[in-house]
Structure formats: structure tokens, C-alpha cells
Amino acid sequence: MRPPYRIRPTSVAPDGSPVDLYPLLPELGEGDCVARAVAGGSSILELGCDTGRITRQLIRLGFHVTAVDESPEMLAHVQEAETICARIEQLDLRRRFDAALLASNLINAPAVSGGPSSRPAFGMQTW
């Protein structure tokens, strides 16, 4: 049997993410971090939801989640929330949410001010 890190993806999202790998990732309590910052029962727009690992946590905690991803293959794994297949920068929902979450997409975005080393600091402050 091959080690798990040698899995060859059969489907790749437009950003290059291996769709087959994401359902294997463990939940790490990200939903609890959000719950400490956002009132229970709030509506959350989750941008770049991938296969819904964080989405499921948020729904179990009582949030109303709208999950957005540009990959229909990723969204096929999200059964518990309203899903929208779209690129984030082209999204126009014409409605408001209590909070927006862009957790997993930070790694794919070019660093803003401060260069690449600013990314980990931002992530640590956010979580």
C-alpha cells in the first residue's frame, strides 16, 4: 500500500488544488475559532470553501453558511449548505452576510504588503 502523500489526484480544481485530497484533511477546530468571533446563528459567506471541511463545522455550530468555490468538483462534496460556483472576484450576490470567511484561499493569494512573510503573521492574528 502506498503512503497517503503519494495519492495521485484524479481531479484538479482550477487553482491547482487536488480535489481528491481535500476530503481527507482533518477538522482542526476552525469552526470553533469562527464561533468565538461571530455571533451564533449568523449568516456566513465562506469564500473558497473547497470540499466544505470548515463549512460542515460551521453548520454544526448553528451558522447559516453560503459556500462559494470556483470548482464544481469541490462543491459536489458540500451537501449541507447553499453552494455557489463562481470565481470570488466575479461574485455579485446582491445580499448581505453577517460575516465573510476566506480561510483556505489565503495560501493561494499573492502577498499584499510585507512580502510572502506577512502571510503567516496574518493567519496567526486571524485565527
Query: What are the tens digits of pLDDT across the range 42-99?
Result: 999 999 999 999 999 999 999 999 999 999 999 999 999 999 999 998 999 999 999 9
Amino acid at the residue 59: I
In a domain, 95, yes or no: yes
How much is the pLDDT for 85?
97
Q: How far apart are CA 118 and CA 94, in angstroms?
A: 32
Phi/psi for 72 (5° steps) reads -65, -30
Calculate mean pLDDT across residues 95-123. 63
pLDDT at 83: 98
pLDDT for the residue 76: 96
Asked whether residue 16 is domain-assigned, the answer is: no
Q: All 3 cell numbers of residue 110?
A: 499573492
pLDDT at 103: 86
Range of the domain at 82: 29-107+116-126
Structural domain count, the chain: 1
Which pTM value belongs to this model? Answer: 0.76
DSSP 1: -
**CATH code for the domain of 66:** 3.40.50.150
Tally Cβ neighbours within 10 Å of residue 55: 26
Q: Would you say residue 5 lies in a domain?
A: no
Does 10 fall in a domain? no
